[in-house]
A = this chain, B = another copy of it.
Amino acid sequence: MSTSMRNLLKRIMATPGSNRAKRSSSPKRPIRGYHHGNLRRALLDAAAKILEANDAGELGLRAVARMAGVSQAAPYRHFADKQALLAAVAEEGFRTMSEAMRHAAASARDPAERLLGLGVGYVEFATAHRAHFRVMFGRELIDKSQFPDLAKAASEAFSVLYDTILECQRAGVTRRDDPAEQAFAAWSIVHGLANLIVNEQLSLAGKSPATLALDITRNLIDGMRPR
C-alpha cells in the first residue's frame, strides 16, 4: 500500500465524535407520556441496542418490548405492526448512514476523492452496523414502499452519492454519461462488497473492508473517466 493511499484512507476514516444519529425526543411529542414518557423512542432505542448486541438473530417485537420494560402488547400503541417498527429502525439507519457518508465526503479535497470517501464510508457503515444494515436492505422488512418516511430517508442517502457523481462529471473526473447510471454502478459495487462482507461470503485475506472498498471504488472510477 502506497503512503499516499494510506494518507487518503486515514483522512477518509477519521471518526467524528459520534456517527450515531441524535436520539433526542422530537419536539412534536410531549416529554412525558403515561408510564414511560415517549415509549416510541424507548422502543426504537431498545431495538438499536438489540441490533448492536446481537449481530446475528432476528429482531423480535416481544424482545424489543422486554428490553424497554413494557408488556408485549404495548408497542402496538406506537407501531401498527412489526413491519412499521422495522421501517422506523431502517429509517434511522439511513439517516445515520447519510451522516456517515457526508462526513466521509467532507474531508475530501476534490470530487474524485469525495467519491472514494463515499465508497469507503458506505462499506465502513455496513460493517460497523451489520444488523442495522441488514434491516435496511434485507427482506424481513418486506414492502419498503409502504413507508414514505423510510423511502425519503433512503433516497436522501442516495442523493449524497448522486450529487457527488454530478460534481465528478462537472470536474471532468468522469465522463458525461447518464449520471443515474454511474450512480447505480457506484452504489452496486459498494453495496455488493458490503453485503458479501456482512454475510461472510468473502474471505478478506487480511485486507480491511475499507482498503477493499477503496481499491474497488478507485477501479470503478477509472472505468468512468472521460475517454
Interface of A is mostly: helix
Q: B139, A184: Cβ atoms under 8 Å?
A: no
Q: B201, A154: Cβ atoms under 8 Å?
A: yes
Q: B144, A195: Cβ atoms under 8 Å?
A: no
Chain B residues near A222 (CB-CB < 8 A): 222-224
* Assembled-state Cα–Cα distance A83/B141 (Å): 21
Chain B residues near A205 (CB-CB < 8 A): 180
Kindly specify which of A38-46, A66-74, A212-220 makes contact with the partner chain. Answer: A212-220
Chain B residues near A142 (CB-CB < 8 A): 56
Question: A91 CB to closest chain B CB, in angstroms?
Answer: 14
Given A219-B224, A223-B221, check contact A139 B145 (CB 8 Å): no
Chain B residues near A137 (CB-CB < 8 A): 195, 199, 201
Interface residues of A in 193-227 (CB under 8 A from B): 193-196, 199-202, 205, 212, 215-216, 219-224
Q: A216, B145: Cβ atoms under 8 Å?
A: no
* Assembled-state Cα–Cα distance A196/B223 (Å): 21
Given A193-B184, A193-B192, A221-B223, check contact A139 B215 (CB 8 Å): no
